[in-house]
Amino acid sequence: MKKKAALQNPEQRMRDLERQIRQHQKLYYIKHAPEISDFEFDRLFAELQKLETDHPDFASPHSPTRQVGSDLSGDFPRFQHTVPVLSLSNSYSTGDALEWAGKISREFTDALFSVQWKIDGATLVCYYTAGKLERAVTRGSGQMGDEITANARTIADIPHRLREAVDLVVRGEVYMHFQDFEDFNQLSGNRYANPRNLTAGSLKQKNPADVALRPLRYVAFDGYSTSVAIRDDAGMQEWLARLGVRTFADQSFVPASELQAEMDKREKERLSLPYPVDGLVLKVSAYAQREELGFTAAFPRWATALKFTPDSAETEIIGIEVAVGRTGRVTPRAILQPVRLAGTTVQHATLHNADYIKKLGARVGARVRVSKRGEIIPAVEEVIDPGHGKPFRFPARCPSCQSQLVRPDQMADYFCLQPDCPEKKIAALVFFAGRRQMDIAGLGEKIIRILYDKGFLRTIADIYRLEERRSELEALDGFGQKSVEQLLKGIEASRKQPFSRLLHSLGLRDLGPAVSELLIRSGLRSMDDLLSLTGQADAMDRLAKIHGIGPGTSQAIVEQLKDPSLQKLIQELKEAGLSVAMPPEEKKAALLPVFEGQTWCVTGSFERFKPREKAMDLVRERGGRVVTGVTRATTHLLAGESAGSKLDKARELGLVIVSEKEFADLLERS
C-alpha cells in the first residue's frame, strides 16, 4: 500500500524519504546507534535519487542527496577543512563499477585505478605543518569538522611528527580489529553492537585519557601536499609510507581491463580480514585526470565505492528472550528458525533494546531478514512480514530474580539493579573464569551453571572452596574423579595468576587490563594500596592524575572499591591464597623497565607461556606496550611455533622478531 501511494504522490514520497534519511544520518553519525543497515539506508537514498531524476520539479535544493552526512557535534571546536572531504558515490553492483571505470578509460586510455579496502570506521583528517601534527579533524559536513586533536594523539598509528618537515594533509580511517573489539566489549559488559559504532563513539569522548583505553587504529587513504610534486596516487602512497604514515599494504593499481579480476579476488579475501570492511574504493590514480573529471555537488567523479552486499538471510522468529549480563544490562535477542549465514548456522540474533523492537515491529511469528553486522554479531535488520503474533512487550521485571527493571534517564537499555540476581552472579563467575581473565581450565559456562544450580557456587570466592567439597562434586551426575580432578587442578593453577590479572578479572566497571596496568605502574601494587587510597578524600583526584585514567574512570574505581561486598570478596580471595599484591620479584621487575618504549605483539604457540597472554603480561610488567596486531608502530614480535601472517608482516616491516628462547633469555637478564 505504501509503495502504491508513493507512486501516486511522488512529491509526498520524496519529502518522506528526506525525513527518513536525515533521521538515519543523525543516528549513524551523531548517536553512533544506527537502526538500519547500510544496505537499507542505501536503498532509501537510491530511491530518493531516482525520484529526483524522474520528477526534478519536486526536488528540494536542500535534499540529503546534495549534501554530505555530518558527524558535527557541539562538544568540540570546529575547523574549516582545507581540502574537500566528500562522500563517494556507491553501488552494490560490480557491473556498475566496471561501467564507471570503462567510461573513464574511454576518455583516458592510460587510466590506472587504485583499489583499496573500504574500511568500516570513521574518517579523520590529520593536518601537519612542518612535519608536526597540528590538528586532527572529523569529516563533519565535508566542509567543517570537529577538531579532536587531543583524542587523535592517543592513537598509536598517528605519528605526532613526520620523518620530514613538510606540510601535509592526510585523509584516513580510524577503525578497530574484530579481536580488539571483542576483548574491549567483553570487559565493558558487551555494550557495543559492532566495531564501527565503538570507533566513532570513542573519537568523540570528551576525555583523551578515555580514548587512550580504546584499541583504535588508523590507516591513510589519501594525502595532499604542496611541499612536493607528486603526479599520482601511487606516488602519494609511497611518499606517505616514507614519512611514517601507515597506508594500505595491499593497495593495488590496475587498468580497467583487470578490475573484474581484482574485485573477484578481494571478494574472496574479505572474510579472512581481521578488521571490518564493507566494500572497495576505486579511484583514478593520476591527479591530472582527477582534475579534469572534477566533482559533482556531493561526490568526486574520479572515485566510487563498490559496496559488498551484506550476507543476509530470511527466517522466522520463534521466540524472543532477554538475557541479564554481569553489569545488570538486560538485552533482548530473537530465537530463530536455524538459518545459514556467512558460513555458520545462526539460531539467535540481537534485537538491541526495547525501542529497536518497537520500531522494527519484531514479534514471535514474524518473517525477518537477518545479517551479520560487522561480520560479527547476527542482528535482525528488517521485518518482512509481521505475521499475526502479539506485539512483544519488554518485561517489567528481571527474568532471573523478578526485581523491577530500571531504565536510567537518556539510556536505551533496561538494568537489573539487584546485587543478588542469579544471572548477574553466573555471568560474573563466567567472566572471572574466562580464558582472558583467570583462565580456569574445566570451569566453563556449562559447568558453572550446574554448580550454581546445585548450590556449590554463589560468589567468586566459592570457586576456591570447591576442593573442600571434592566428594560431593564426584557424586554429581556427569561428574567423576577424573573430571573433578581436572577442574580442581585448573582452580589451583589460577591461584598463581599475577595480581594484575586478578585485578581486571574481578569485572569492575572501567577496570580492564589497560587500566590495571596503569594503576600498578603508578605504584598501586596491591589490593591494600587500592583500598587504602579509596579511603582518602582526594582519591579520585589522585587517580585522575595518572596518565591514561580520566575522571570518569577514577570515579568508577573509587565507588566500586568502597562497596563492602567487594571488600569482603577481596579478603576472601586473599585468604584463599590468590595474588592480591605484586610479590617482591615482580616489584623488582616493574622497577626495571627493560621494554620501555617498545611495542610488542605475539603470535604462534609456546612451551613456557600457556596461554601466550602470559608472555605479554611480562612485557607489560617491564614497561612495554602490548598490541594485538602488527603495524609500523610495532617494534617487536614474539614468534612461537606455527606463526602465521603476523610473522610475514613483521618481516616485511623489518621488525625485531624474537623467539621463545630469546625472550626467556631477555627475561632472565632483566
Q: Kindly tell me if the per-residue pLDDT of 210 is higher than 70.
A: yes
Q: Would you state the cell numbers that stand for residue 3, as one nine-digit string?
A: 509503495
Least confident of 79-83, 414-418, 648-652: 648-652
| pLDDT computed for residue 320 by the predictor | 95
When pLDDT is averaged across residues 358-373 and rounded to a whole number, the result is 88
Helices and strands counted in the chain (H then E): 27, 21
Domains 422-494 and 499-582 share a fold: yes
Statement: residue 340 has pLDDT above 90: no
Mean pLDDT of 238-266: 92
Class of domain 78-307: alpha beta
Query: For residue 322, what is its C-alpha cell?
Result: 532477554
CATH number for the segment(s) 2-66: 1.10.287.610
Q: Which of 486, 498, 503 is nearest to 440 (CA)?
A: 486
pLDDT band at 1 (very low <50, low <70, confident <90, very high): very low
Domain covering 312-415, topology? OB fold (Dihydrolipoamide Acetyltransferase, E2P) (2.40.50)
Residue tagged active-site, from 31, 103, 118, 574:
118
Indicate the Cα dihedral angle 231, 233, 234, 236, nearest 10°: 80
At 294, give phi and psi (nearest 5°): 70, -155
Q: Please provide the average confidence, as pLDDT, over all residues in the chain.
A: 85
Matching CATH number, 422-494, of 2.70.98.10, 3.90.650.10, 3.40.50.10490, 1.10.150.20: 1.10.150.20
Q: Identify any residues that bridge with 172 across adjacent strands, giving them in sequence order.
A: 124, 220
Q: Which residue has the cell 598517528?
A: 158
* DSSP secondary structure string for all residues of 175-226: E--HHHHHHHHHHTTS--S-HHHHHHHHHT-S-HHHHHTS--EEEEEEEE-S
Say whether pLDDT at 587 is over 50: no
Sheet of strand 168-175, all strands in order from the earlier edge strand to the far edge: 132-138, 122-129, 168-175, 217-224
CATH dotted code for 499-582:
1.10.150.20
**Per residue in 299-332, pLDDT tens?**
889 999 998 876 778 999 999 999 998 888 898 9
Confidence at residue 495, expressed as pLDDT on a 0 to 100 scale: 92
The CATH homologous superfamily of the domain defined by 590-669: BRCT domain (3.40.50.10190)
| Count of CB atoms situated within 10 Å of the CB of 267 | 13
Q: In the predicted model, is pLDDT for residue 31 greater than 50?
A: yes
What is the mean predicted confidence (pLDDT) over 358-379? Answer: 82
| Domain ranges for the chain | 2-66, 78-307, 312-415, 422-494, 499-582, 590-669
Catalytic, 4? Answer no
- % of residues, the chain, pLDDT over 90: 40
Most confident listed range (107-116, 344-353, 523-532):
107-116
Does 667 or 502 have the greater pLDDT score?
502
In this structure, of 357-361, 580-584, 591-595, 638-642, the range with the lowest mean pLDDT score is: 591-595
Looking at residues 282-286, what average pLDDT do you find? 95
Cell output for 176: 578497530
Here the cell at position 292 is 579534469
pLDDT classification of 7: cutoffs 50, 70, 90: very low
Grid cell 602470559 is found at: 614
Question: For residue 30, what pLDDT is reported?
Answer: 64
pLDDT at 584: 67
Cα angle, residue 377 at apex, residues 375 and 381 outer, rounded to 5°: 95
Which residues, in sequence order, are CB contacts of 184 under 8 Å at separation 6+? 176, 192, 198, 214, 215, 512
For the whole prediction, is pTM greater than 0.75? Answer: no
DSSP string, 111-155: --EEEEEEESSEEEEEEEETTEEEEEEE-TTSSEEEB-HHHHTT-
113-119 vs 89-91, strand pairing mode: unpaired
The pLDDT of residue 413: 85
Task: Please give the residue that has the higher pLDDT: either 530 or 377.
Answer: 530
In the chain, the amino acid numbered 455 is G
